[in-house]
Chains A and B, each alone.
Chain A
Amino acid sequence: MPSVRIPPPYRGPSLGAAEVDVSGATIGECLEAVERKYPGFLAQVLDDDGNVHRFVKLFKNGEHVLRDPLRTTLASADDLEIIAAIAGG
């Protein structure tokens, strides 16, 4: 199953869990699977229109996913890292 790494700022709904293995063939499906497990997670990643928040970046196996991220496929050995643009200031 693909692995989804949750950044520290978004670990409230997951009660601190940093990584979760979920079923899904695309990034979008995997994010929805995380939401089913940890309600409240998805709103941190997607905006009201269902697009990825501009302050969120997604990395598949270390590569920044720039085009059509939610439809990008994920195989069972893949990992998805979510990066949240958040720090001090």
Chain B
Amino acid sequence: MADRMICVDMTTETVELKPFPQKWQMLGGRGLSAKILLDECNPKCDALGPENVLVLAPGVLSGTAAPTSGRLSVGGKSPLTGGIKEANTGGQPGQHLMKLGYRVIVVKGKPKDANKRFALEVTAEGAKLVPADEFKGLLNYTLCDRLHTKYPKTTSFITIGPAGEMQLKGSSVATTDQDNRYPARHAARGGLGAVMGSKGLKYVAVDPGRASVVQGADKKKFNELCKEYSQAYLAGPLMFKHGTSSVVPVANMLHTFPHKNRTSGQSPDVKTLDGARIVESFDTLGGGMHNCMTGCIVKCSNIVHGEDGKYVTSALEFETLTLLGSNCAVAKWQDVADLDRLCDELGIDTIETGAALGVLMDAGQMQWGDAEAMKALLRDLPNGSERGKAIGNGVVATGKHTGHKRIPHGKGQSLPAWDPRPLKATGVTYCTSAMGADHTAGLIINPGLPQDKFAYESQKVQLVNAVCDSSGFCQFLQPNLDNIRAFYGALVGREVTREEIHGQGWQTLCDEWEFNKRAGFSAEDDVLSECLMQDPIGPAKAVFDVPAEIIAAVYTRMTPGEDMFTAKASG
């Protein structure tokens, strides 16, 4: 059956299946989302109004046997930044949609009655909207517990929690993972959960039934590639074998493990927040490492248990340990695990939330390190207090709520762990990415990089990541452009050239920049908060002081060197 797209109109409560355009055959995930948003969404629209468009797009390779390739991109105009947004996530729905031949779900409009909730049910037979009022206000885990009894066991889910329904700007879109089918994976950044909430869409259920793996046009070559690439990866250093939380001590060493609202780059609690402690806990408490989606060979996701030996959360990542841990002076990983679970239940971004809580503490309105107060505030968030709404709306909203001035952000989005003062080239990415301050847009962990290389390196890694995020590959697999074009070639049955794959990545960046330009962004927005330019960090007393002309150079397409095609994706 030819590939199709699912077009949902929430205003008329109708669903239509349309043929997926052949010209987009090699477009998926982030690249496809950017193309659709640029074509079909008014960039000046209210991000929580009917004109915004929610895109759910699996990567090009999702549903195939390519390893670790089932990422799902969620796109729309961000209510947090006011610009274009793509956040991608693991879990099962990306794989399931592609196995059914659905290349993208496009959701437009808004229900006439904002109190109503709907669900989109997707099967091999088609897709339909159904009432979902009975699930209104449910936490993500409770919701999925109930959905698991309602739908066949093969079904995966895309959901929002109460934060998305409240249309808080830090809210996330969750997907269910492979093993436990928990809503533990999140397209977290930029408030796309609020966009889904504004459309009254509580969940999407995708039942692949007996749909089989997508085969390449050159089946033999595609399968050989899968085998060769997997063997090569598994023979390598396996950097993420213990999860991203193992990065904690290295980041601390490089002064990019922010402490107390980024007033320091190191934490005195680095040993108790180190992911090694989580790995050690597997022996006594249970839990362990697993893959969040079918066919993943990275297996970076940890399953974390509490003192009672019962499941608490998955995955407890480096970014979460940093923002909800060190940045708030919380000393114990066990507390961060509880906070992570609360964020997953509510459906809010752990980075944005941790940064916002750090501002609240820095403003003197909560004690540093008071994990119990943090948990209490999050538990109370659905009740809609002004403080809860400020935290749920992110770091800038919390700054306004408290009147505090040190608000680390880029384009209204809080910074992730990676600090642009010791890592200035990463700061160039934060300034120029249409996504705002987002490490997955192009992380450059090279504190010795000379300034004249910042623009090229940032453009290179932004382009490589744009292609990776369009392919369905997880950034932690660290594929390069040559790897991706080889898979694309076997998938479509012809050679995909370096020029073609480079052009595709560049086009995605240009589409995103163009959207933001039409939304009203200009070079004046390519800056980071004053505190990052004025408050020094680390022994080098580094501030973010990259000249504007170097930042602006990212927008000019540079001639790619050999390294453009061999550089690994780096999120």
Contact = CB atoms under 8 A, between A and B. Distances in A.
Nearest to B247: A86
Nearest to B417: A89
A86 B445 CA distance: 8
Contact of A87 (B253, B448, B453, B478): B478
Given A55-B249, A87-B445, A88-B571, A12 B319 contact: no
B206 interface: no
A88 B244 contact: yes
B476 interface: yes
B448 A85 contact: no
A85 B478 CA distance: 12
A77 interface: no
Interface string B450-461: 100100000000
B440 A88 contact: yes
B152 interface: no
Interface residues of B, number: 35
Interface string B240-272: 100011110111011000000000000000000
For the residues of B in contact with A, the DSSP-based class is loop
Contacts of B439: 88
A88 B239 contact: no
A55 B250 contact: yes
A83 to B, nearest CB: 5
Interface residues of A, number: 24
Given A64-B237, A89-B319, A84 B447 contact: no
B117 to A, nearest CB: 33
Contact of B448 (A11, A54, A59): A11
Interface in B194-251: 237, 239-240, 244-247, 249-251
B476 A16 contact: no
B513 interface: no
A16 B453 CA distance: 10
A11 B247 contact: no
Contact of B254 (A9, A16, A54, A64): A9
Interface string A40-79: 0001100000000111010100001000000000000000
For A14, A43, A87, the residue with the greatest tally of chain B CB atoms inside 10 Å of its CB is A87
A44 B253 contact: yes
Contacts of B418: 88
Interface string B94-110: 00000000000000000
Interface in B436-451: 439-440, 443-450
A11 B237 CA distance: 20
Contacts of B478: 87
Contacts of B237: 57, 59, 64, 83, 85
B253 A11 contact: no
A78 to B, nearest CB: 18
A11 B424 CA distance: 13
A39 interface: no
A85 B239 contact: yes
Contact of A84 (B244, B250, B443, B448): B250
B245 to A, nearest CB: 7
13 contacts: A12-B422, A14-B448, A53-B249, A83-B237, A84-B250, A86-B239, A87-B239, A87-B443, A87-B478, A88-B439, A88-B443, A88-B476, A89-B245
